[in-house]
């Protein structure tokens, strides 16, 4: 435990802490206020709760023992990776502990011929690619936070990135998991091989936001680097034109690795800070990245150019080398950070719409912006319709934070109205649980609760997240029908 | 009994129910004849049927095209067969979004037909395409084909779903967008759930454009080790094949003449399918030829109708060989362990005289194996294969087999500790155990 004596902690906490110390090395239990502060929130800093302890286990066995102890003492626990989540998923629970996986950072196995890497959950996303890069492979899901976020966090959030149009998101690249269930049992689901019998529990765990258990080992698929990559940059007078180009490209049968749009406000923010060479007056810019075998990329490039022109691109550039390509991307990748210079505060929204609804929804966002008198900058993974509107506000001005939040909520409503989703990659967490009813009716929420109850009947694992209102679990005993001896012997039947 | 039957039949109307012999017998599942077969016209009717069935603990066997109705364990009971064939409408095809929604009683063939009008397709090629496999049945069994190398399985393609739960609740999961992380991934839970968690009534899918050109290069090897080197060097290259299939000599013997391909018998063959824009296909094919040539392999290039029938044969072979005494299995192992399984198949067949046909998705580590002969050696062979595959940390599932075999070898094999979670899921979703009772893993 920390060197500073924990003052004034009630007896039950102290005795709980002592029990944790029987499981973990002293440096694996954090209890002092100044160290706990770090864990009060994740990337969504507006919500803060101080946990009673933070524990840093080093193995699945330790995680299991901690969870068993939590069960005995009815203490809720919240898993945490790097804390970069943007929906408050790793926000601690009152009177609960945080289980940080930050010390489980080993890459356990690199198996190039079988295209698999097995890691512990605290391994940082980019380390995976770094570990196989020299063999010509990479790990495809590439969230912008990949320098710090963990694979465990990626699994929990089903994170995406800028290349998921063609290559899919985390769930398409996770094949096996070791999980400590909310009752402390350790199970393995899936594996390095495919098609395991039974329900797709791997598919359920990915994107379950830490509510179904703690992931302690992950088997990932790695893929071959493409032979050729070509990045095109186009500017447009209006965002709608850029949106039209995106729909046009897929309609022509071309599926780029990624397509990203930024609007004028974002362009200006970025140019002020990183000088990516974006035209400051453009209504929007579009980045299109093609990858694959040389001949395929060569054949697709003129098609994309044609579509860009048809949609009134005012300027088209093709990156001539990897330096220029990096420059094109630099602006996009620093968009969030740059926004800090445009406004004292901003709120990152994350909604999804069908590609074809892009012009319509962008129009609605513009109207909302006018209605609320707040600026909204648009940055988005246009290829898969994942919008990241950034609502700019000044929290020192009375009521502006609330207005921003309200505006951001209305954007989600617009997304759902056209058949989309309230979150494409950041998760529901704490922040968006109140919007779940926009997408899901009572039956759907009840169904999700059945899943949660099958894993965590006591509701101790990351409680208070995802579900709009607290739900309890009905004990589902084995009421499964068993043949009555009379029926079995053929003497009678139910009908 | 009559009252209950009537209550069920009333939901769909007399015209949409079968309750008399001999028609009923045609719907028997592993020898169990249902009391009634219903063909609901709407989702609401399905909901009504399930409400009644749930309250009276009547076992419901969902049925699509009936092509895989023998998949799974023998059901404990079979009271009502619920046919999905009337729910067969495509609901939406938004080509620019590369997304389509359909009712799940539609056959894959009919669905592909509609999508083709806008030059797109659902990127999945499971067996029973011609014989009426439905989209819902493919989801429920997570069936797939050689193209999974490039496009994955239903798991990757299904983005939204509507199901009717055992209590009649109509539930939606997912959305019309490819990227969506709101709530649990309900579509994935239903892929491969074999109808044990609810009736899958609608699906929303991500689509792909139909590639401009497809060509397949087929090359023979007598030496498994050489062949495997070839497979690994293709996987480890910048080539992007859609299929990479290895056929064992017995299978080649069986299909070569019929396809008039003149493939070298008594050898293994590797088939590499490339699909893309024309130039990219030709470019990659010539690279494939280069790699093969270096290793002393020489092959033939097929496209068009010939190519199509070749892949059709690979998809369908276990079922098109109509033999009553046979078992069809699917093994999943590491890519690098595929040759070991092939080797074991060769030894098994020379020791026991069984006919063992096999085709491997070499880039996925999946082998489809069909064993024919006398029942008792087949059973021994299946057991020994499962032992081998399990020792390689893979698994072996029986896709189709006579009841005799199923009573002696578990269809699914060991699931491990996670079975407890699966049982709990089942008991929450289907507390009365009415949906396909006993057919799934651990007798779920
Ligand atoms: C600048 C910035 C850019 C970003 N860009 C993207 C982007 O492009 N795409 C994208 O998808 N996201 C993005 N994010 C969001 C965030 O980085 C991802 O959600 C990431 O996956 C979170 O990982 P983490 O390790 O920080 O997890 P945390 O924030 O610590 O936790 C996230 C959730 O996972 C749970 N969790 C963590 N570890 C485990 C475990 N081992 N087992 C079970 N549950 C666990 C937590 O309880 C919590 O609910 C961005 C964030 C920032 C700050």
Burial class (CB within 10 angstroms; exposed 0-12, middle 13-18, buried 19+) of A472: exposed
What is the Cα–Cα distance from B17 to B11, expressed in whole angstroms? 9
Residue A328: is its pLDDT beyond 80? Answer: yes
Q: Which of B36, B44, B42, B43 is nearest to B7 (CA)?
A: B36
**Looking at the domain that runs over A11-100, which CATH code has it been given?**
3.30.43.10
- 10-residue block means of pLDDT along chain B (444 residues)? 86 96 93 96 98 96 95 96 98 94 98 97 97 98 98 97 98 95 97 98 97 96 92 95 97 88 88 95 95 85 96 93 86 98 97 95 98 94 98 96 93 95 98 97 95
- Annotation: CATH topology of B326-402: Alpha-Beta Plaits (3.30.70)
Please say whether the structural domain B90-209 has been given the CATH code 3.30.465.10.
yes
Within an 8 Å CB–CB cutoff, is residue B51 touching chain A? no
- CATH number assigned to the domain with residue range A107-224, chosen from the 4 options 3.30.390.50, 1.10.260.40, 3.40.50.1110, 3.30.465.10: 3.30.465.10
Interchain pair A444, B173: CB under 8 A: yes
Count CB-CB contacts under 10 A for residue A38: 12
Residue B222 is predicted with a pLDDT of: 86
Copy the structure tokens of residue B366. 């999946």
Share of chain A above pLDDT 90, in %: 85
Residue A320: is its pLDDT beyond 50? Answer: yes
Most ligand 1 atoms within 8 A of CB, residue of A55, A56, A90 to mutate: A90
Would the CATH topology of B213-316 be identical to that of B326-402? yes
Task: Kindly report, as residue ranges, where domains of CATH 3.30.465.10 are found in chain A.
Answer: 107-224
E strand or H helix at A175, and its extent? strand A174-180
Interchain pair B181, A353: CB under 8 A: no
Whose tokens are 């790097």? That residue is A82
Interchain pair B177, A385: CB under 8 A: yes
Q: Which of B215, B194, B196, B201 is nearest to B431 (CA)?
A: B196
CA nearest B101 in A: which residue? A419
Residue A359 is predicted with a pLDDT of: 86
Domain ranges of chain B: 2-83, 90-209, 213-316, 326-402
Complex confidence, ipTM: 0.97
Residue A490: is its pLDDT beyond 80? Answer: no
Q: How confident is the model at residue A481 (pLDDT cuts 50, 70, 90)?
A: very low
Question: Are B381 and B354 contacting, i.e. CB atoms less than 8 angstroms apart?
Answer: yes
A426: which residues sit within 8 A by CB, 6+ positions away?
A85, A86, A87, A157, A348, A350, B181
Domain made up of A228-417: CATH architecture:
3-Layer(aba) Sandwich (3.40)
What is the Cα–Cα distance from A428 to A472, expressed in whole angstroms? 19
- Average of pLDDT values for A44-71? 97
B124: which residues sit within 8 A by CB, 6+ positions away?
B108, B138, B144, B145, B147, B148, B151, B153, B154, B157
Residue B259 is predicted with a pLDDT of: 86
Report CA torsion sign: B292, B294, B299, B305: positive
Convert the pLDDT of each residue in A262-288 to its tens digit.
999 999 999 988 888 999 999 999 999
Using a 6 Å CB cutoff, which residues line ligand 1? A 42-43, 78-86, 89-90, 101, 121, 143-145, 149-150, 152-154, 156-157, 159-161, 209-210, 214-215, 336, 425-426, 462
Residue A476 is predicted with a pLDDT of: 58
Residue B101 is predicted with a pLDDT of: 98
Portion 17-36 of B in contact with A at CB < 8 A: 35
Residue, of A475 and B116, whose pLDDT is higher: B116
Task: Kindly report, as residue ranges, where domains of CATH 3.30.43.10 are found in chain A.
Answer: 11-100
Partners of A113 on chain B (C-beta within 8 Å) are 232, 235-236, 335-336
Say if pTM beats, i.e. exceeds, 0.90: yes
Task: Kindly report, as residue ranges, where domains of CATH 3.40.462.10 are found in chain A.
Answer: 228-417
CA distance B163 to chain A (A): 10
Across chain A, mean pLDDT equals 93
Order of strands across the sheet with B158-164?
A: B90-94, B99-103, B199-206, B158-164, B170-174
Q: Which SS3 state, helix, strand or coil, does residue B213 take?
A: strand
- Annotation: CATH topology of B213-316: Alpha-Beta Plaits (3.30.70)
What is the Cα–Cα distance from A202 to A39, expressed in whole angstroms? 28
Report CA torsion sign: B123, B128, B130, B134: negative
B218: which residues sit within 8 A by CB, 6+ positions away?
B261, B263, B269, B270, B271, B272, B299, B300, B301, B302, B310
- CATH number assigned to the domain with residue range B2-83, chosen from the 4 options 3.30.43.10, 3.40.50.170, 3.40.50.261, 3.10.310.10: 3.30.43.10
Question: Are A124 and A82 contacting, i.e. CB atoms less than 8 angstroms apart?
Answer: yes
């Amino acid at each position: 435990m920390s060197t500073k004596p924990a003052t004034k902690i009630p007896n039950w906490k102290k005795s709980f802490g002592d029990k944790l110390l029987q499981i973990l090395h002293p440096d694996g239990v954090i209890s002092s206020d100044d160290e706990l502060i770090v864990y009060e929130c994740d990337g969504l800093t507006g919500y803060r709760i101080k946990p009673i302890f933070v524990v840093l286990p080093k193995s699945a066995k330790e995680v299991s023992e901690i969870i068993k102890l939590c069960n005995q003492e009815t203490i809720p626990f919240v898993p945490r990776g790097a804390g970069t989540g943007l929906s408050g998923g790793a926000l601690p629970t009152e009177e609960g502990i945080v289980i940080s996986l930050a010390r489980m950072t080993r890459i356990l196995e690199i198996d190039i011929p079988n295209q698999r890497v097995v890691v512990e959950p605290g391994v940082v996303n980019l380390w995976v690619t770094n570990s196989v890069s020299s063999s010509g492979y990479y790990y495809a899901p590439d969230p912008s936070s990949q320098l710090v976020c963990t694979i465990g966090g990626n699994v929990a959030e089903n994170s995406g990135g800028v290349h998921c149009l063609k290559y899919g998101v985390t769930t398409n690249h996770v094949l096996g998991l070791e999980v400590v269930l909310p009752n402390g049992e350790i199970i393995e689901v899936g594996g390095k091989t495919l098609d395991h019998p039974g329900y797709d529990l791997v598919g359920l765990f990915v994107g379950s936001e830490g509510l179904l258990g703690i992931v302690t080992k992950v088997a990932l698929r790695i893929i071959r680097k493409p032979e050729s990559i070509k990045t095109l940059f186009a500017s447009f007078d209006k965002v709608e034109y850029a949106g039209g180009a995106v729909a046009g490209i897929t309609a022509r049968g071309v599926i780029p690795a990624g397509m990203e749009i930024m609007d004028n406000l974002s362009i200006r923010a970025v140019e002020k800070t990183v000088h990516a060479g974006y035209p400051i007056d453009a209504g929007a810019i579009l980045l299109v990245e093609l990858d694959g075998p040389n001949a395929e990329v060569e054949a697709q490039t003129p098609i994309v150019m044609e579509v860009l022109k048809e949609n009134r691109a005012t300027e088209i550039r093709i990156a001539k080398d990897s330096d220029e390509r990096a420059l094109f991307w630099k602006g996009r990748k620093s968009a969030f950070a740059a926004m800090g210079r445009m406004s004292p505060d901003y709120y990152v929204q994350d909604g999804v719409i069908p590609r074809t609804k892009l012009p319509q929804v962008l129009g609605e966002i513009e109207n909302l912006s006018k209605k609320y008198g707040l600026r909204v900058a648009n940055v988005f993974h246009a290829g898969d319709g994942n919008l990241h509107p950034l609502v700019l506000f000044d929290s020192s001005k009375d009521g502006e934070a609330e207005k921003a939040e309200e505006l951001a909520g209305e954007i989600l409503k617009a997304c759902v109205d056209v058949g989309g989703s309230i979150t494409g990659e950041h998760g529901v967490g704490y922040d968006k649980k109140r919007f779940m009813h926009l997408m899901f009716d009572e039956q759907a929420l009840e169904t999700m609760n059945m899943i949660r109850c099958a894993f965590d009947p006591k509701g101790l694992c990351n409680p208070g997240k995802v579900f709009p209102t607290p739900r309890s679990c009905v004990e589902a005993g084995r009421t499964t029908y068993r043949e009555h001896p009379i029926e079995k012997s053929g003497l009678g039947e139910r009908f | 009994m009559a009252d209950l039957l009537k209550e069920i039949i009333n939901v769909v109307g007399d015209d949409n129910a079968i309750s008399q012999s001999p028609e009923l017998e045609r719907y028997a599942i592993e020898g169990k004849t249902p009391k009634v077969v219903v063909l609901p016209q709407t989702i609401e009717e399905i909901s009504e049927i399930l409400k009644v069935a749930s309250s009276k603990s009547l076992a419901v066997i969902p049925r699509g095209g009936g092509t895989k109705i023998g998949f799974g364990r023998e059901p404990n009971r079979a009271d009502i067969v619920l046919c999905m064939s009337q729910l067969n409408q495509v609901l939406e095809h938004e080509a620019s979004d590369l997304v389509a929604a359909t009712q799940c009683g539609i056959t894959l063939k009919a669905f592909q037909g509609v999508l083709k009008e806008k030059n797109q397709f659902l990127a999945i090629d499971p067996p029973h395409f011609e014989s009426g496999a439905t989209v819902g049945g493919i989801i429920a069994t997570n069936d797939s084909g050689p193209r999974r190398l490039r496009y994955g399985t239903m798991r990757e393609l299904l983005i939204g779903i509507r199901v009717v739960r055992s209590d009649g609740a109509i539930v939606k999961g997912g959305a019309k967008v490819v990227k969506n992380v709101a709530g649990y991934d309900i579509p994935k839970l239903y892929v491969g759930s074999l109808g044990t968690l609810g009736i899958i009534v609608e699906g929303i899918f991500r689509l792909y454009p139909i590639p401009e050109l497809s060509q397949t290069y087929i090359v023979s090897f007598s030496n498994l080790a050489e062949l495997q080197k070839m497979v690994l060097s293709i996987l480890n290259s910048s080539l992007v094949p859609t299929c990479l299939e290895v056929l064992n000599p017995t299978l080649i013997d069986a299909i070569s003449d019929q396809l008039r391909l003149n493939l070298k018998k008594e050898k293994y063959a590797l088939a590499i399918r490339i699909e893309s824009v024309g130039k990219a296909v030709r470019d990659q094919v010539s690279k494939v030829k280069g790699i093969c040539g270096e290793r002393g392999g020489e092959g033939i290039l097929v496209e068009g109708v010939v190519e199509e029938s070749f892949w059709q044969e690979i998809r369908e072979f276990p079922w098109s060989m109509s033999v009553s005494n046979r078992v069809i299995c699917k093994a999943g192992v590491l890519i690098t362990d595929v040759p070991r399984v092939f080797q074991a198949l060769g030894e098994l067949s020379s020791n026991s005289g069984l006919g063992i046909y096999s085709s491997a998705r070499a880039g996925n580590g999946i082998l489809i194996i069909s064993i024919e002969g006398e029942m008792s050696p087949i059973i021994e062979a299946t057991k020994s294969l499962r032992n081998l595959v399990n020792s390689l940390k893979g698994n072996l599932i029986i896709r189709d087999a006579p009841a005799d075999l199923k009573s002696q070898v578990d269809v699914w094999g060991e699931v491990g500790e996670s079975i407890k979670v699966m049982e709990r899921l089942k008991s929450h979703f289907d507390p009365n155990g009415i949906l396909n009772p006993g057919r799934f893993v651990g007798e779920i």
